[in-house]
Structure 1
C-alpha cells in the first residue's frame, strides 16, 4: 500500500516511527565520535587504573593492565603530603567567590550596556573583548607589584580579585549581546507598571536570564578551579595553595612514583566531577533555554 501511494503521489514515504535509513556519512560520523570518545577516555582510564596500583604492580604489569589488588598507598601518600582537604577548601573558596562575584558584576555591566544603552556601547564591548584576549603572563608583574604594595601578596583575596575581573570581562561581553536582544515589550510593560531600573533588573531581567547566568556560574567555577599560573605566582605559602598548584609543586619538590602521581591527578579531578554532576541538569537547562521560545 505504501509503495502504491509513493508511486501515485510521486513522493517517497518515510518508514514507520519517523526513522530514516542511515547513510554512509552517518556511520562515518558515528565512528569518528566513538574514536574521539575513546581518545578522551584513555587518559582517565590510565589515571584511574594506576591510582590503585602499588609501585611493584605497576613495574611488573605496566600502565594499561588492571591492578592485581587494590592498593591505596599512592592516594594516602598524596593526601598526607599536601594536606589535601586544606587545598580543596582553598580551591572551593576561591572558585565559589569568583564565580558568584563575576556573574553579579557581569549582569550589572551587561544590563547597563545591553538594556541601558549607554553611550559608546560598541567601544565598551570591544574593550571587554580586548581584555579577554590579553594573556595572563602580561599581568603578572604589574599585579605582583600592586599586591606587594597593598599587602595582599600571598593572600587568597589577591587571586579572587584577579579572577573576578577576568571572568567578569568575559561575562560582560557575552551577556551584553544577550541583553541587547531582550524583548522591549517586556521592559516597556514593566516600566508602565511603575517599576524602576533596579526593579526591572531583579524582577524581570534576572528571572528570565537565570538559566544563562547559571551556565556562566558553572563555567566560571570550573575555569577558576583549573587555573594554575596566577595562583602559583601569588600564593607562595603552602597553606594558601590550590589543588592544581599543590600537585605541581609536590611533583617538583619530591620524587614521586607514577602511582602517587596518578593518585594526585585522580583526587584533583574528583571535586570538579562531583560539582559537574550536581549541576549537570542546571547546565543542560541553561544551554537549551533559548532553543524553544
Structure 2
C-alpha cells in the first residue's frame, strides 16, 4: 500500500513545468513590455494633465506639474472657438464614406487582378505598390486643379474621392496578393454550378475575405480621420473643415494657449478611441483570421 502511494505521488519524468517556473526570461519580457506600455501612454497622460490645468499654472510650473484645480475653461473655449460639432460631423462622414467606398473599390479591383487573371497582373500590382509610395505633396497641385475644374473645391466630396482612390491603392495591393492564392477548386466548383463572376464574388470570395475587408475598413477610417495636409488645402471655409484642421487653427504665430490646445486634442481623440473600442474585436478577428486554416 505504501509503495503504491509513493509511486503514484512520484513526479512523472518529462512532465512539463508549471508556467510560473519556466525561467526568469519571461519576467524580463513582461517588464520590458510594461516599460514600453508606460512610454506609449506618457504623451496621453501629459495631454490629460495639461488639458485641465490653468494657463497661469502651466506658465509657472511647466507641463509636468499636476493641476491644483480642475480647469475646464479650455474645453469650453475649444468647443466654441472651432464649432466642434460641425468639424466632428465633417470628419465622421468623410472618413466613413472613404472607409466604405475604398474597401469596395479595393475588393472589385483586386478580384479582377487576383482571380480574373488579367494580362500583366504583376505589373499592375507593382504600379499600385509604387502609387502608395508617392508623397502627397506631389499630388496636391493636380488634385486641387481638377477639383476646381469640376466644382468640388471646398467640398467634403473632394476629400472622399481623393482618399478613396489613395486608400484603395493600398487595399488593392493587399487584396490582390491574398486573392492570387485563392483555392482554384472553389472557383471551379462554383462555375460548374452555373455561377457567374458576380455570384462567385459575393457568394464565394466575399465571405472568405470579409475579415480582411473589416481590417481595411477600420484602417481606412482612422487614416482618413488623421489626414491633415490635403484637407487643409482643399477645405478653405470653417463649415467644411475637419477636426485636425480645427486643432491647427488654435496655433497662432506668436501665442499658443497650451491648455486649450491639449483640451482640444483630448476632445478630438475621444471619437477615434470610442471607434477603436467598438471595433477592437473585429480588428482582432480580422488580423488573426488567416493564422488558422
What's the TM-score, normalizing by structure 1?
Answer: 0.92
Q: 1:15 aligns with which of 17, 21, 24?
A: 17
How far apart, in 2, do the equivalents of 1:143 and 1:290 lie? 37
Q: CA deviation at 1:256?
A: 3.8
How far apart, in 2, do the equivalents of 1:278 and 1:60 lie? 40
Kindly report structure 1 stretches of 4+ aligned residues shifted beyond 6 Å: 1-4
In the other structure, the counterpart of 1:185 is 185
In the other structure, the counterpart of 2:203 is 203
Q: Go from structure 1 to structure 2 and tell me whether the alpha carbon gap of 1:88 and 1:277 turns closer, same or farther (over 3 Å shift).
A: same
In the other structure, the counterpart of 2:4 is none
Q: CA deviation at 1:68?
A: 2.4
Q: CA deviation at 1:97?
A: 0.5
1:212 and 2:209 are equivalent in the alignment: no
How far apart, in 1, do the equivalents of 2:11 and 2:81 lie? 77
What's the TM-score, normalizing by structure 2?
Answer: 0.92
The Cα offsets for residues 258-287 of structure 1, whole Å up to 9 and x where unpaired, read as 110110110111111010011111101111
1:105 and 2:105 are equivalent in the alignment: yes
Q: CA deviation at 1:102?
A: 0.4
Q: CA deviation at 1:20?
A: 5.1
How far apart, in 2, do the equivalents of 1:266 and 1:258 lie? 12
Q: CA deviation at 1:188?
A: 1.5
The Cα offsets for residues 23-48 of structure 1, whole Å up to 9 and x where unpaired, read as 43x33333332222111111000111
In the other structure, the counterpart of 1:237 is 237
Cα RMSD over matched residues?
A: 1.8
Instruction: Give 5+ residue unaligned stretches, structure 2.
Output: 1-6
Contact kept? 2:243, 2:268, Cα under 8 Å = yes
Instruction: Give 5+ residue unaligned stretches, structure 1.
Output: 7-11
What secondary structure sits across from 2:70 in the alignment? coil
Moved more, 26-35 or 273-282: 26-35
